[in-house]
Chain A
Amino acid sequence: MSQGEEEQGLMTERGTGTSEANAVYAFAVCHTEGDPDVERLTGVTRDEPVRCLRIGSLTAIVQTVRGSDFTDEVWQKRLTDEAELERYARAHHSVVSAVASQFPTVPLPLATLYNGDERAALSLAGESARFRAALTRIAHHAEWGVKVYVPVARSAGDDPSDERPASAATRTRPATGAGRAYLERKRNLHSRREQRQADSLRVADAVDADVSRLATESRRLRPHGGGAGDDRRVQVLNATYLVAGHRAAELDLLVAELRRRTGAHIEVSGPWVPYSFVGEV
């Protein structure tokens, strides 16, 4: 495998005793000739400051990190530890957000690492056409997340202990009447459930269609599962939209109207740096 050989080559080039070697963590690339203010940002380590690395007319936001803290092995452990992963994801996100609030910014994925400034500058410069294309696509836009929830309907028929005592009529002819009534109840329950499912999918599609009309681009993400145990709602839509800055207020109004019209619980998050829309679509 050429990739593996290349990595090995890099390792040997740097010689032995590389445990203390530094790596460069890249957070984002932004469009500016001036330096964004990154002074108060912590980044992913407290040892070194977050700083700017000039790449032509673009600027990468980077941080020197200890190489041994950012190997694949260490990341694999990190990924199994929710608290650790959250720390890094939020650290990454806060740098990206801070820079994006100052200049047009393309976020890089979590854990983009280079063997030093020269390597980072060289690699990122090689991608500058893609960065420019992404910057053009997201210019004057922000990303907004829209989630739709429907309540978990706890219908009476769901519970087997809900069997009602037989009425006077069925008591006289217990066998046939009770059996038929039971089947009838089962059938109703089943069709009610299917109805509910169809209804919530319809609500999800309606919300998605309306918001998509207002958005420049849209993407459906996987719905999240319920978090806390007593959260009695089901997420039926998890979508994200690239919305022009001047239409953000319209989105607000639209969502309010959709809430009234559908009765569904609709959550909006944003504005996000357009993470979901900087990749090739």
Chain B
Amino acid sequence: MTDLDFRQDASYPAAGPQNTNLADILERVLDKGIVIAGDIKIDLLDIELLTIRLRLFVASVDTAKKAGIDWWETDPALSSHAARNALKDENRELRARLEALESRSEDTSADSR
């Protein structure tokens, strides 16, 4: 590999834009980037689920609605910070349901062939 020579390149620095909104940052610090295994496994939700919860992307909400998932409408985390443990459990349960849903729809599409 050729040695990298980036130093003293005036055009290089990218300090990041001013006044960035949270969604712009989240979709970069969470969704993309290089995948590196840490020692402490943090299960950052799929950005899809996370952003639904935070109502950051209506497009995702529409997708979820089509799949019959509308739990965020009554999600206590969206109105208060209470019931956090319950939320965690709910989260697990929802992922399980989502998996079940997805495998079912795969089955159906396989059947229809």
A positions within 8 Å CB-CB of B = 3, 7, 10, 23, 26, 31-32, 67, 70-73, 75-77, 79-82, 85-86, 89-90, 92-94, 96-98, 100-104, 106-115, 119, 123-124, 127, 130-132, 134-136, 139-140, 142-143, 145, 219, 221-227, 245-246, 269-280
Interface residues of B toward A: which range? 35 or more
Closest residue on chain B to residue A138 by CB atoms = B14
9 contacts between A and B (CB under 8 A): A76-B88, A82-B54, A113-B38, A140-B11, A221-B27, A271-B16, A272-B16, A272-B17, A276-B28
Set of chain B residues within 8 Å of A276, measured between Cβ atoms: 28, 32-33
Q: Which of A103, A112, A222, A226 contacts B6 (CB 8 A)?
A: A103
Number of cross-chain contacts by CB at 8 Å: 198
**Distance in Å: Cβ of A281 to nearest Cβ of chain B:** 10
**Distance in Å: Cβ of A138 to nearest Cβ of chain B:** 9
Q: Is B36 among interface residues, defined by CB-CB distance under 8 A?
A: yes
Q: Is B104 among interface residues, defined by CB-CB distance under 8 A?
A: no
B positions within 8 Å CB-CB of A = 1, 4, 6-7, 9, 11-17, 20-45, 50-51, 53-61, 77, 81, 84, 87-88, 91
Main secondary structure of the interface of B (DSSP, over half): loop
Q: Is B14 in contact with A79, judged by CB distance below 8 angstroms?
A: no
Q: Is A85 in contact with B14, judged by CB distance below 8 angstroms?
A: no
**Distance in Å: Cβ of A39 to nearest Cβ of chain B:** 17
Q: Is A104 in contact with B12, judged by CB distance below 8 angstroms?
A: yes
Closest residue on chain A to residue B13 by CB atoms = A101
What is the CA–CA distance of A75 and B16 in the complex, to the nearest angstrom?
A: 25
Set of chain A residues within 8 Å of B29, measured between Cβ atoms: 89, 92-93, 96, 107, 109-110, 275
Set of chain B residues within 8 Å of A275, measured between Cβ atoms: 28-29, 32-33
**Distance in Å: Cβ of B28 to nearest Cβ of chain A:** 4
